[in-house]
Structures are given as structure tokens and as C-alpha cells.
Structure 1
């Protein structure tokens, strides 16, 4: 079984976010600046390369008040990935910041949880509070891919390749999945939005965008069981990821998750 190299590529940010916006009920006792980074991830193995989530483009960023730091295509190019050559894209969930840039991967198969597609095309989307994190164009595009035979659905846990698997956790979105990747330092879990920040999972303090709080809390425990240690769980939006992990030497704001992080 080969080990994977994992790149975390920052592509956008919200610089003026505060801590009270990142915890359910806004109950952070020490409110202050707590910016948010947006990442896509690439797992490079000996035989296959996987892109994990596809981010959003500049048009979507402008509409939602997010600053695109560098387009996703440029970040992928920096780590030697040609989007048109990618065969597998894993979409952790269908929120706008994880499944955009529709034209980047013309031949890819998309890996998605069955219940996420049911969620973002079903009756829950009648409620603004649940649908506001989804973009209609993203959902329509994924439906089109289904009809093109380019979506592989998963129900719970699935090994996609030796050393790489997806695991349903839910919580933040009905079909949210995390990705477990074998590296030379052990099993790394890419949390995506199962934990936006280290503080969410470490304090069992849920993020406020949530469809099922119990599933979100249980997801923290699931990730602990999947990872080689708590230091092997990588949150989805925390700028501390860039501070703790070594640079990939592939450009600014790209770090290597298969290498040991600095002490917290």
C-alpha cells in the first residue's frame, strides 16, 4: 500500500471574521478576530491523484463577500496538478465553497455521499436557513454529471483506493463526508467542515451552520477513531493549519499535511 503526499492549498479567505461567528449560539467568551481560510486538498499517490473539493470562483466569491486569494486552478498548477488530467474528485459536501469551478475537471468522476445529493435536491431546500450555503448552479451541475455517468455515490464508508477512504459524518450538512488518507506519518483525516477550526473539535463546540448538532458532535469522535492521533486531524478552514504545517515549497499558502505539524 503506497503512502500519499497531501497538499492543502489556500485559495480564499475572510479576513474580518470574529470568534463569535464560529461557534453555535455565538457563545465564545473571548470574542475577537478569528479569520477563515478556504482550502482545496490534493492527495498524490504512486498511481492515482485525488482532488478533494473544488472551491469557488471569483464571481461566487464576490457575490458572497469572500476574497479569492488565488484561483483554484493556479494553486493546483503550483503543485503540478493539471485539472484536465484528474480522474477522481471527492466532494465532501455540496456547500458553495466546496463544489464550484465547474469546468476545471472535464473528465473526472465525482465521489459524493448519496444522502448529500438527496439533501440538496430535496424538501429541506425549501427553507432558506438550510439552503443558503448551497448555490443552485452547483447543484444543477452535479445533477448533470449524474446523467452523464460521472458521479459515484457512496453510502457511509467506502474505500476508494488502497490507503484512501471516505466516511460519512453529517452534522454540518446532511451528507458531509471526511477523507482518511494513509501517509508516511500515519492516517490523516481531512475534516473539511466536520470541524472548521481546531477549536470546534477540541472544545466540542459546534460551528453554527449545522443541520444536526448531534451528528456534528459525534463526528468529532468519529474522526478521533479514524486518525492516528488528534494531531492527524486537519480542520477545514483554520488559518492555524498554515502556521502548523510545513510549506510545500510550491508557493505561498500551500502546506504539506503528510509531514508532521509543529507543536500546538
Structure 2
């Protein structure tokens, strides 16, 4: 069965990025359609956001066209980042590799826990980006609390998972929804708090998180796509205060280790 994919999202990173990571790394043909916020708002007013095109009236959305030999192509439309990642985990899985569903239940739910926690932490942080003061104290202290909990708990979860699976993917391993979600949120963390890179180093308290993040972003297809499309310069959220430039300016002014205490 052959697949073609179309990822529909806003022209930002956020919840679309884990899906993009899986698609880019797989090497399968896909199209990225970015819908400007003004267009989305206009579609809402004119009732063009229907369930057949946008389940749950939300983005990101994945359109998957698959063709079974001898049959006409069929399209499957799916929303919600976590569900899309689960779908791609199995759809993009090379033949002969162990599927997540074949792992013990305890391992599967721990994988799901890491994935959901990463997505939740990202949404919590970016949900504050509607204010021009979101990256300044005291909001910055609140964000650090979310970030520090995410890193600490993810480090612990990865330590447990290491007993059963390889949590830091080799170049020859497939990328998973868990690693893509965790890497995306860690990317956000390192832009909001650049000083956390030291904590993510080999001698840092979150070294497993750091190794996972580095392993994902250094994969050849991802590194090339990120460079060609200038992903690091893209906004993180749809608000004017969620741009890479705004985040960098705030980090330069406020990101001091002692302020995280």
C-alpha cells in the first residue's frame, strides 16, 4: 500500500512540528500546507471549516491518501497531534521493525506518557504567548516551573524506558512520535531558556533529554530540511509575541540561571 501525505497547519512550529519531524525523517512524499491566521478566521466566519476537512475544527490536520493495488486512492483525514503521531508511528514503520503495539503494555503507556506530557508542556507554555509580557517576570517564573517539571519528569521517564527500549535513536532507527514530541518541546525550551543547554549536556541533570534532542535534530534529512526551510527562524505561535525574534530578545534580557531559582 502506497501513501501520500498532506500536513495542514499554521505557518508556525508548535503542535505541527512533531508531525513534520516524522514526515521529513521518513523520506515519504508529503506536502506542507500553511494556512495564514487571517485565512483561518475568514473560513470560520464563512463556515468553511467543516468536519470532513478539519475534524474537531482544529489544526494540525493530516490528509493521508493511500492506494491499494488495483483499487482507487482513498483519503483519510485526521486531527489532533497525538493521534496523528500514533497513526504515523505505524504507517511509516519500515517492514520488519518492532511496532509500538507489540511492546509490553507497561512500556507502551510510558511511551504515551512522555509523548502526551511533551505536547501538554508545549501547549501550556505557548498558551501564555498572547501577552507582550509573557517572557518577563513574573510570568517567566511560571513558565520555568512548567519547563523544569517537564525536563525532570521526562528525564526520569526516559531512565525507566531505557530498561526496555532504546530512547535515544540511532541514525538507523526509525523516529517515533514520542521522540518527535519530546524533541519539539525541548527545542522550544532551549529557545526560551538558552541556558538550559548546559543542563542538557553530557554532564547535565537532563542528559537523556539532551541526547534525545540532539539525536533527532542531527538526523540527515531533518538537519537538511531545517536548514533549507529556516525552521529555527519560524514563529512558535500564532501571536505576534511568539516569534523567534521576540523570544530571542526576551532570552537575551532575562535568561540568567539565578532567576530560575
| Structure number with higher helix proportion | 2
Q: Bigger relative contact order, structure 1 or 2, given CA contacts below 8 A and separation 6+?
A: 2
| Structure number with higher strand proportion | 1
Q: TM-score, normalised by structure 1?
A: 0.30
Larger Rg: 2
